[in-house]
Structure 1
Amino acid sequence: MSETPAESGSLADRISKPTGPNPTADAFQPKSGTSWADEVASPATETPPKVSETSEDIPQVDGATGPFGGSSLHEPDYQVEVKLADMQADPNNPLFSATSFEQLGLSEDILKGVMSMNFRKPSKVQEKTLPLLLLNPPHNLIGQSQSGTGKTAAFVLNILARLDLSSEQMQKTPQALVLAPSRELARQIVGVVKVMGAFVQGLITEAAIPQDAASRGKKLEASVVVGTPGTVQDMIKKRLMDSRSVRILVLDEADNMLDQQGLGDQCVRVKALLPKNIQTVLFSATFPDNVVKYANQFAPGANQMTLRHEDLTVEGIKQIYLDCDNDQAKYDILVKFYGLMTIGSSIIFVKTRETALAIEQRMTAEGHKVVSLTGGYEGAQRDVIIDAFRMGQAKVLITTNVLARGIDVQSVSMVVNYDVPDKFVGKGKFVADPQTYLHRIGRTGRFGRVGVAVTFVSSRGDWEKLMEIQKYFATEIIQVTTDDWDELEDQVTKIIKSSRAGANFQDGARMGGT
């Protein structure tokens, strides 16, 4: 089904007023005019862990699980800031900050799953968020956290710790619900839950995503459900999913979900179909100012966690742009880039499904092996395409923003912004979209590796938007001339090869994060 049904009225009008444990708590609010990524923290003083080459130190993957080629956690220096909604919280409580998973009171079965993923100690984000998430009575949480810092593991551990699996009936009754903006991210999270909960007796995890005709109408029986908002809403209304026992609601990539009119409306409606006293957890890498009020209303009285990190938006990513005379020149240069894109694997981001299909058809006709993935494909087709890309069977993937969020594929060494990311603001006007740019380029340069982000500019408007993005993140996007192709090819090849060599080094130095 469609994930964006229309309904009159604004999103803010349909979110109930704060009624949580402390409705008067200060609202979660980044500094005006900036993103969290602009907040520069002083370097931490602790000594980075030594790199070990022993087999015991082979670390867990981040985001996607091992069979699906996920990336490792490389935890750089940053500071985690916490604001408590309940000012009576005791900072001397032994769970105020946890430096080991054993301190959290998790069951042996959950700890076995943690250790099986080669978690050695909590990441800095997990040190602060897990005690807050595991508080009793449960508290809401709003968290800003870069991909790869451990947010998925944090909310999954909280879910596993709160499940009641004492009877077969409860094992088949949804108790935790995770909402994600795309089927690809939902499937990825399902994989994390299954691996981390592999030793938890009676755990059943299912995806509530748009299904093919043969699967429709089947009742969903699972203790943990991960899905897209429209499908979950539809299944609850059709009584294919029992929502009466849900006690935890998680929104991953929450800013994207609440900012999009259709998805945001669906999230609000899903929450209205759940019990009133649930724990609500919102996680995202970015929370633009215009989304903050929705987040506070959606998760009232929430504890708040922010991660401030030096050069967060650009670490390890070489950002360049190419001046192209017109759309045909953009395509011609893209074809030239094909050899570079297949050194590792690459994602080409375009604005529309039509552009994705046209590029795929033209490049395929010229003998280049590429695949495209957009919302226009049926669910089963999308699963086959993304899985082939994860496993390296397809090296170049053309997609719209459907894959800009949360998808973790370790081998991606290049991202191409075929179209400069922008957003519609009404009256025929489009403006730069820094958040989408950040999430797009974040598909490469994963967690300490080096990657390349290439943006094509073919008009004055494109250039102005890209300069706005550059200013927003206080970074430098370097213009590279296409006149000397040999020199350009040599530069990009060196960056990509250094990223692949560096992967072996970084893989020994991770801690605990998904």
Structure 2
Amino acid sequence: MSNFKDLGIHQELIQALDELHINTPTVIQTQAIPVLLKDKTDFIGQAQTGTGKTAAFGLPLLQLVNPEQKSIQAIIICPTRELGQQIAKQLFKFTKYVSKKIFVEAVYGGEKIDIQIGRLKRPTQILVATPGRLIDLLERKAVDLKEVKTIILDEADEMLSMGFKPDIDKILSHTAQIDRNIWLFSATIPSAIKQIISDYMADDAYKIEVDHKDVMNTAIKHQYVICDIKDKPNLLQSFIKNNDDKRGIVFCKTKAGAQTLAKQLLAKNLKVESIHGDLGQRDREKVMRAFKSERLQVLIATDISARGIDVSNLSYVIHYQLPEQLEYFTHRSGRTARAGNKGLSLAFVAPSELEKITALEKELNIYFEKISI
């Protein structure tokens, strides 16, 4: 098994990784880091959320950036403000012991653009951005991308599913005359992603693919309970009350489902709130502050709204409704069992959905234990 030193990571970064309990490289880190450090290349990494992608591209990027040069040298484009904030925070933590500081700034919708323009007047080497906000800043000539050497598209398929393809095309076209490399990370490679690869990336772009079976955290226990839809609210209520000393996230497939479930549980005097696409930025931040400070026991979320959530010490994740996509199951489950802790991933399954459990076991190489509540 390789370590970060063998992969070529500097000791001052490794010191920060040790402090974060990141000691053994994941599959994508082992495969990507040496390539990104040594070869000036376009790169395609096909991997699910939860595989350690941020470190896979973040560590090489931090070593390649020139701290003496005050201009933006790299852009990381991602689908949501939460993921953008998380990436920026993670990169900041990686640089704790770096002697010459590298400055990272995150820009996204939901915050006044003038405030972000003001911050960008300070030295910034790495810019983390959502597509729409980056376009806004470019149109205002508030960012200068002439010195950009690397553009990273993180969760590219998610950005396309959210309708950002025109923005990504515009950004990549805008930087087409610059001698830059594109590092693309995506769970899946649908036709629209293939089009981006064809239009903007070199024919000899280096590609790696992480198998689903290499993704799942072995510290997560997977269980399922069979129940009719009408019984789910009472069953969930019982579970939460039986685990009143523990905190977790409950996942629904739709905004309406998350809102309805939150109302049902609040009526039972449980400490829950929901986050979803209709929630304004201020309200969303208020809910997240309450959850992180442990004033809430349970957060009810949709898959998209949970992108970028990073809350420590979550004991469980509940799939109140099974997701449609395999990578969403991985992403959901990965909210628990972090930093060396153990966690539970519990699925509420209708009798007609049992074949989905079998499919998940086969695809992800995991075992589900059937339980009753």
TM-score by length of 2: 0.82
Query: Which 5+ residue runs of structure 1 have no aligned equivalent?
Result: 1-45, 47-96, 423-432, 482-487, 489-514
CA contact (8 A) 1:100 1:122 kept: no
2:76 corresponding residue in structure 1:
178
**Is 1:133 aligned to 2:36, yes or no?**
yes
* Percent of residue pairs bearing the same amino acid type: 28
Letter paired with 2:344: V
Q: Offset at 1:176?
A: 1.1
1:267 corresponding residue in structure 2:
168
Cα deviation, 1:155-174, whole Å, max 9, x if unaligned, reads 223222333443xxx52x32
Return structure 1 stretches of 4+ with deviation > 6 angstroms.
119-122
Return the match for 1:364 from 247, 266, 285.
Answer: 266
Cα deviation, 1:440-466, whole Å, max 9, x if unaligned, reads 122223476432222223474x55555
CA contact (8 A) 2:156 2:193 kept: no
In 1, the alpha carbon distance for the partners of 2:216 and 2:155 equals: 16
CA contact (8 A) 1:315 1:448 kept: no
CA contact (8 A) 2:224 2:371 kept: yes
3-state DSSP of counterpart to 1:178: strand
Stretch moving more, 181-190 or 231-240 = 231-240
Letter paired with 1:305: I
The answer to which structure has the higher helix fraction is 2
In 1, the alpha carbon distance for the partners of 2:167 and 2:242 equals: 41
**Is 1:123 aligned to 2:14, yes or no?**
no
In 2, the alpha carbon distance for the partners of 1:217 and 1:311 equals: 38
1:150-169 aligned at under 5 Å gives the runs 150-166=52-68
Return the match for 2:108 from 209, 227, 233.
Answer: 209
Cα pair distance change 1:354/1:99, threshold 3 Å: closer
Q: Offset at 1:475?
A: 4.7
In 2, the alpha carbon distance for the partners of 1:343 and 1:134 equals: 45
**Is 1:445 aligned to 2:337, yes or no?**
yes
Aligned length: 363
Cα deviation, 1:324-349, whole Å, max 9, x if unaligned, reads 333x4211111112124543321111
2:5 corresponding residue in structure 1:
100
Letter paired with 2:135: Q
In 1, the alpha carbon distance for the partners of 2:210 and 2:232 equals: 37
In 1, the alpha carbon distance for the partners of 2:192 and 2:339 equals: 26
In 1, the alpha carbon distance for the partners of 2:213 and 2:7 equals: 30
Q: Which has the higher contact order (CA 8 A, sep 6+)?
A: 1
Return the match for 2:291 from 372, 386, 389.
Answer: 389
In 1, the alpha carbon distance for the partners of 2:156 and 2:265 equals: 35
Stretch moving more, 246-255 or 344-353 = 246-255
Tell me how large the CA RMSD over aligned residues is.
3.4
1:429-468 aligned at under 5 Å gives the runs 433-446=325-338, 449-458=341-350, 460=352, 462-463=353-354, 465-466=356-357, 468=359
Q: Offset at 1:191?
A: 0.9
Cα pair distance change 1:469/1:295, threshold 3 Å: farther
CA contact (8 A) 1:371 1:396 kept: yes
Query: Which 5+ residue runs of structure 2 have no aligned equivalent?
Result: none
**Is 1:304 aligned to 2:203, yes or no?**
no
CA contact (8 A) 2:213 2:364 kept: no
In 1, the alpha carbon distance for the partners of 2:8 and 2:221 equals: 40
1:315 corresponding residue in structure 2:
218
In 1, the alpha carbon distance for the partners of 2:251 and 2:182 equals: 32
